[in-house]
Amino acid sequence: MTDVFFIGLGLIGGSLASNIKAAHPDMVVSAYDADPKQLERALSIGIIDKPIASFEEGAEQADIMVFATPVQTTVKYLTLLPNIQTKAGLIVTDTGSTKSTIQAHERRLLQHDIHLIGGHPMAGSHKTGVLNAKKHLFENAYYVLVHDLQENDVAHQRMIQLLESTHAKLIKMTAEEHDYVTGVVSHTPHLIASSLVSLNAHYASHSPLIQELAAGGFRDITRIASSSPEMWRDISLENKSHILTIMKQFQSQIDDVIHILEDEDASKLYQFFAESKTYRDALPIQSKGALRSTYDLYVDIPDKAGTISKITHLLSSHNISISNLRILELREDIYGALRISFKSSDDREQGRVVLNDYETYIE
């Protein structure tokens, strides 16, 4: 039987293990985690078949190895692999957000008949830990697979077969291309969002209304700044080269906007907003991108007792689950007084249909 060995059983590792165990009953799913409690929980809810006491023990038994650990932790383990008596043809993958430092080990591992196929499932949740694992977490999300050497083509196809059950959109990239693209669409936006929050905090001491009014649209556009500081510290350092290049370009664009405002050039200011709007409006809305998606409806409702309970009853009567419900006080550029968050785009669309039959305005 094929042994799929996981190192790290957080949300991503646990979700992937759960999916593989359900879709491939002929495989044995084993796991090692630095926290033994994670292994106990995973075993108790049926996500893994057997816990492993040490990395070395699991590596010796594995046919496929999945690192669901921080990139630097994965790199440390990769340096140990050639010193372990692994099975011939061992396939190794990971789930890290940067790929160049991982894939730098591809050629050296190949000399030991170890085939490295880097991986990056672009999915996640604000919830963490194996108890929040979901086997369908990767559905419709992009899942990047990376290898640079032709000798690993067969291993790449084997990984595609293994991951087909996730129903993710599997795409191939080089490590360099991956880190450049994610630097543009994910890593730099995180730094910018955190910078905007820091700017807000700087001015918050000038007026208590700044923090209060930031609870509306500002909080929404900077939501990614609430991500794990440890994770984003590591990602930023790992992809420093690309991020610095992109940030300097962003700095240049900010300088251009400053000059436009100083010159009071209405035409260029309009062009700046119009071009941004055109590009943003053309972005795909049906697929998950590099940043975690939210599935929200903004609903305009009358200020009457029982209105919100009627809406939640309508949704529940159609078996539509919601993940969050929020009354909006500050609604600049947002239509609606109520924001309803759903677990998936399908739930959101069903909710839209149901609520359109009610006396509401849907955006």
Say how far apart CA 257 and CA 237 lie, in whole Å: 28
Question: Is the Cβ–Cβ distance between 286 and 335 less than 8 Å?
Answer: no
Q: How confident is the model at residue 125, as a pLDDT?
A: 61
Mean pLDDT of the chain: 88
- Report yes or no on 204 lying in a domain: yes
CATH number at residue 348: 3.30.70.260
Q: How confident is the model at residue 217, as a pLDDT?
A: 73
223 and 99, same structural domain? no
Question: Is the Cβ–Cβ distance between 67 and 77 less than 8 Å?
Answer: yes
Of 37-51, 65-79, 179-193, 202-216, least confident by mean pLDDT is 202-216
Domain count, the chain: 3
Q: How confident is the model at residue 18, as a pLDDT?
A: 95
**pLDDT per position as a tens digit, 73-122:** 999 999 999 999 999 999 999 999 999 999 999 999 999 999 999 999 98
Q: Residue 286 CB: number of other CB atoms within 10 A?
A: 7
pTM for this one? 0.76
Q: Which domain holds residue 74?
A: 3-173
Q: How confident is the model at residue 141, as a pLDDT?
A: 84
- Report yes or no on 267 lying in a domain: no
Residues 6+ apart with CB under 8 A from 2: 24, 26, 27, 28, 63, 64
Q: Is 328 exposed, middle or buried (0-12, 13-18, 19+ CB in 10 A)?
A: middle
Reply yes or no on whether the pLDDT at 214 is more than 90.
Answer: no
- Report yes or no on 270 lying in a domain: no
Of 22-26, 54-58, 227-231, 354-358, least confident by mean pLDDT is 354-358
Of 138, 154, 173, the position where a domain reaches its end is 173
Reply yes or no on whether the pLDDT at 225 is more than 90.
Answer: no
- Smallest Cα–Cα separation from 36: which of 15, 53, 56? 53
Residues 6+ apart with CB under 8 A from 41: 129, 130, 131
Question: Phi and psi for 139 in degrees, rounded to 5?
Answer: -55, 130
CATH number at residue 207: 1.10.3660.10
Of 151, 173, 195, the position where a domain reaches its end is 173
Model confidence band, residue 297 (pLDDT cutoffs 50, 70, 90) = confident
144 and 13, same structural domain? yes
Query: In whole angstroms, what separates CA 125 from the centre of its chain?
Result: 7
252 and 237, same structural domain? yes
Q: How confident is the model at residue 315, as a pLDDT?
A: 87
Q: How confident is the model at residue 286, as a pLDDT?
A: 53
For the beta sheet containing 295-300, the strands, ordered from the edge strand earlier in sequence to the opposite edge, are 322-327, 338-342, 295-300, 361-362
Q: How confident is the model at residue 291, as a pLDDT?
A: 53
**pLDDT per position as a tens digit, 142-187:** 899 999 999 999 999 999 999 999 999 999 999 999 999 999 999 9
Q: Read off the tokens for 167.
A: 């129903």
- Smallest Cα–Cα separation from 2: which of 40, 30, 42? 30
Residues 6+ apart with CB under 8 A from 229: none
- Residues 306-322 have a mean pLDDT of 84
Model confidence band, residue 331 (pLDDT cutoffs 50, 70, 90) = very low
Q: Read off the tokens for 200.
A: 């807000």
Give the DSSP H/E element, type plus range, for residue 295. strand 295-300
Question: Is the Cβ–Cβ distance between 155 and 170 less than 8 Å?
Answer: no
Reply yes or no on whether the pLDDT at 361 is more than 60.
Answer: no
Question: Is the Cβ–Cβ distance between 84 and 59 less than 8 Å?
Answer: yes
Question: Is the Cβ–Cβ distance between 78 and 105 less than 8 Å?
Answer: yes
Q: How confident is the model at residue 278, as a pLDDT?
A: 93
- Smallest Cα–Cα separation from 84: which of 144, 143, 5, 147? 5
- Report yes or no on 76 lying in a domain: yes
Say how far apart CA 70 and CA 174 lie, in whole Å: 20
Reply yes or no on whether the pLDDT at 30 is more than 90.
Answer: yes
- Smallest Cα–Cα separation from 249: which of 177, 178, 173, 191? 191
Say how far apart CA 183 and CA 189 lie, in whole Å: 8
- Smallest Cα–Cα separation from 347: which of 319, 311, 320? 320
306 and 163, same structural domain? no
- Report yes or no on 33 lying in a domain: yes
319 and 302, same structural domain? yes
188 and 149, same structural domain? no
Reply yes or no on whether the pLDDT at 198 is more than 60.
Answer: yes
Say how far apart CA 117 and CA 86 lie, in whole Å: 16
Reply yes or no on whether the pLDDT at 254 is more than 60.
Answer: yes
Q: How confident is the model at residue 224, as a pLDDT?
A: 82
- Smallest Cα–Cα separation from 338: which of 43, 236, 358? 358
DSSP 150: G
46 and 150, same structural domain? yes
